[in-house]
Structure 1
């Protein structure tokens, strides 16, 4: 939202680039802070922040194991879990007055999509070998390989657009939705909007995490994914 008040960090300037950098660093800081608080005083019977984070991690592992298997889910938990928590923190800024959600900027979402894209190809090549990994792009039928190969390549590159614009579009849309509510009924309806946007913040982080697992599993096993 271009006219959102730049309250706390206004002394840094009013350019969108500065706002994106500051809010991205703030989202990363919040994610690290929550992790530090959860592991500061580990207990056998968890409570407080440790209890919440253990529930989050167990939830991510459960979903990841259901999509892939337990071994893959645990191996790639650091990436998928970190992305989910960071994206959630960034998304949640849209309900805080004076803050701009960094995930509502396509530059950040495109960067996150490229990280996933490059990483799952790297893991696929490492797991299967370069030759075998490239060969699976040609499909199981050899005489169709000249047709299938470019289709598969385009399909993989389209994932960058899918990941980045899905997240960006939904968060930016929520931001504009809140602006309309504030203009029409600043004291009543925004409460429902805040609830919906909080759910959307969780949902978009969840979807990004799920697709990360899906793409990695397809790359390391050579199996085609059905979830897009």
Structure 2
């Protein structure tokens, strides 16, 4: 189990803040810890927009929890059917916590800013160093991630690194499907359910120097036609 010390009582992008672990505190959020493993690749590190250096957890009208992470170039949205969050929060998470994340453990966030990964018996497996809560206003992902007008498929110029990360994400679920709208709208993807988690995301498209297949490639001719009888006779 990892226990915080005084030298670790700070998070990237925010002033150092002490957490009094002995003071009474209540739990303000609990979500499946797999949300951390899924969201972490989409979170920037040391971004000057400090509110992006974590994942946004907010309550939905059906009393479930929605988790969002974005670096401005791509995003991921997760619905935890059994998740709970009292009010919308932004939580910083450390890479070291990933090894403790699994489908049976939870991320618990306390009102004093402490957070930890607990196993199914409620035993801490990882205690987040320092204060985990980030003050700020997280951008509304629904202003970007509208699914209206999308159809299945991939089109437009896509950053191959971001596409690779999306495909790696699909390994947790076994399948992934892509949806596209036009050259300017994000490429969206949906992955199959992982237990009680529903996941989709998007990758912003890039402006590239080419928009169609190369025009310099020679037009077809009958010479050396791979389907012609004369060509087959030469190789038979």
Higher helix content, 1 or 2? 1
Structure with higher Rg: it is: 2
The TM-score range, normalised by the shorter chain, is under 0.3
Higher strand content, 1 or 2? 2
TM-score (norm 1): 0.22
Give the structure, 1 or 2, with the largest relative contact order (CA under 8 Å, sep 6 or more). 1
